[in-house]
Amino acid sequence: MPTPCPLNIQLSQPQRTLLEQLVRRHSSPQGLVQRAGVILLAAKGMNNTQIAQELQLARNTVRTWRQRWLTASEPLRSVEAEGISDKELLQMVTAVLADAPRPGTPATFTTEQVVQIIALACESPHGFERPVSHWTTQELVSEAVKRGIVDNISQRSVGRFLKGGYSTTTS
């Protein structure tokens, strides 16, 4: 029984050049290099199994990136026809090969809120008529809520902000 053939990828010369540059560039993230390699090998006519073996990736991974490129290929061709610059094309190609947003809970606090709480901790508590010489996490929580920076926050979250172990981006 013959195996199904994956859809063929056609690259324009500017697309091929940019993908080759991404693969050769030492500063490119490894995931981006692998994905660009998948697209380049697919454009050479290799099937998903061959590409997976060549790049030591899972076949489903190769299939995913081939499909994402095929989905984006028409918009890429249309903007190329409009005379887009190489820099803008590189940004679009990089966006196509970027990770999709991952599921999970969005960040609870914005970057601005975190910065305001850290800035609050840098100020003297005496200026806020607090009966302490140094901020405690409970005092910071109370003052942040009082100022309207946040509606509610735990002492532990404030402690993480101050230690620098909090990220407002979801991964």
Q: Tokens 């009966």 label which residue?
A: 131
**Given CA atoms 109, 112, 113, 119 in this order, what sign does their dihedral have?**
positive
DSSP letter, residue 110? -
Residue 171, pLDDT score? 40
C-alpha to C-alpha distance for 43 and 60, rounded to whole angstroms: 17
Q: Domain 13-96 carries which CATH code?
A: 1.10.1750
Q: Which helix (H) or strand (E) holds 123?
A: none
Instruction: Identify whether the C-beta of residue 45 lies closer than 8 Å to the C-beta of residue 8.
Output: yes
Per-residue buried b or exposed e for 110-131, using 16+ beta carbons within 10 Å of the residue's own CB: eeebbebbeebbeeebeeeebe
Q: Where do the domains of the chain lie?
A: 13-96, 111-163
Could you tell me if 39 and 9 are in contact, meaning their C-beta atoms sit under 8 angstroms apart?
yes
**Is residue 104 classed as helix, strand or coil in its secondary structure?**
coil
Q: What is the pLDDT along the chain (171 residues), one digit of tens a residue?
A: 556 677 889 999 999 999 999 999 989 899 999 999 999 999 999 999 999 999 999 999 999 999 999 999 999 988 888 888 888 888 999 999 998 887 888 888 999 999 999 999 998 888 777 777 888 999 999 999 999 999 999 999 999 999 886 665 544
User: What does the alpha-carbon distance between residue 21 and residue 61 come to, in Å, rounded to a whole number?
Assistant: 22
- For 120, the token pair is 């609050």
pLDDT at residue 43, as a whole number:
94
